[in-house]
Amino acid sequence: MKVLVTGACGYIGKHVVKALLDEGHEVIASDFVIHDLDNRATSYEGDIFSKGKCAFQETGNPDVLIHMAWLDGFVHNSPAHMGNLSKHYCFLSDFIEAGCKNIAVMGSMHEVGYWEGAIDEDTPCNPLSLYGVAKNALRQSLMLQTQKQEYNLFWLRAFYIYGDDEKGSSIFSKIVRADKEGKTLFPFTSGKNKYDFIHVDDLAKLIALASTQDSVTGIINVCTGTPISLADKVESFIEQNKLKIKLDYYKFPDREYDSPIIYGDTTKIDKIIENYRNSKQ
């Protein structure tokens, strides 16, 4: 398939580009500035948001759009989330109206807000950050649009991501940088909360698989479905990477909007993986 990836040079985007190429898809990689990108992809550099309906034709009428572009994704209460919301909606609406039949958009468990246990596609959403509010509003808008226009919407809800840590903004990235700076202690929370962690390479493969099929649509959790305590995951990360830094527990309170245990229901992504494996036999 011909796949356009926006935000292709971002933390997750470049891994998605590689995963798609490894599966044999043709990839058009879009970002404001193209850098550090798999050279098998075709580059589209510049502000694709300003192109309106012309973006579809200018990028070669792709079969699939995977919309990864999002400013300040790790800064949950950045004003940019609300300020840019209409740009995302208008861009995606223009792409749909221009003729693209498969739209995959990066979602987040932060759309849900406080929740204890497994999240599935029917879990009610009450976001508690500007990031979650903006993502949830975009999802709701696109789902309304599916009632008026025929296209496949894949809302790819991610959870807690690690890997490629020197270039990320997660707690794992911050620990790596602190260790390189020679710091011996890293201020930490209680670490008791349990989350659904996934390596960025594994996440990219799930995104690539979910976006290039049409038997399973709607909200799709791209995750492991296995909750692990933050302390266990970070301690394991420090050990596996042979870092010298230690965790300084209880220096920070747990965030009010973080659940004691939250993870994704994997029913839909498991079905996609099963269908993929059957197609390869």
Q: Is 44 a catalytic residue?
A: no
**3-state secondary structure (DSSP) of residue 233:** helix
CA nearest to 128, candidates 77, 90, 177: 77
User: In the chain, where does DSSP find H-type helix?
Assistant: 13-22, 54-58, 80-83, 85-98, 130-145, 171-180, 200-211, 230-240, 267-280
Task: Return the pLDDT at 209.
Answer: 98
Catalytic residue among 11, 44, 114, 131: 131
Tell me the C-alpha distance between 108 and 132, whole Å: 7
Kind and range of the H or E element at 264? Answer: strand 262-264
**What is the phi/psi pair of residue 211, to 5°?**
-85, -15
Task: Return the pLDDT at 258.
Answer: 78
In contact, 211 and 104? CB cutoff 8 Å = yes
Tell me the C-alpha distance between 136 and 159, whole Å: 14
pLDDT tens for the chain, residues 1 to 281 = 999 999 999 999 999 999 999 999 999 999 999 998 999 999 999 999 999 889 999 999 999 999 999 999 888 999 999 999 999 999 999 999 999 999 999 999 999 999 999 999 999 999 999 999 999 999 999 999 998 888 999 999 999 999 886 777 788 989 999 999 999 999 999 999 999 999 999 999 999 999 999 999 999 999 999 999 999 999 999 999 999 999 999 998 887 767 899 999 999 999 999 999 999 88
Work out the angle between the directed axes of helices 200-211 and 267-280 (0-180°, nearest 10): 70
Task: Return the pLDDT at 281.
Answer: 83
Task: Return the pLDDT at 255.
Answer: 75
Q: What is the pTM of this model?
A: 0.94
Read off the DSSP letter of residue 253.
Answer: P
Task: Return the pLDDT at 58.
Answer: 94
In contact, 235 and 177? CB cutoff 8 Å = no
HSE-CB for 158 with a 13 A CA cutoff: 22
- Helix, strand, coil percent values for the chain (each to nearest 5): 40, 25, 40
Could you give the domains of the chain?
A: 2-161+197-226+262-280 (3.40.50.720), 164-193+228-248 (no CATH)
Tokens matching residue 70: 């999002």
Task: Return the pLDDT at 166.
Answer: 73
Q: Which whole-number Å values give the CA distances from 229 to 154, 172, 173, in the listed order?
A: 29, 14, 18
Tell me the C-alpha distance between 161 and 163, whole Å: 7
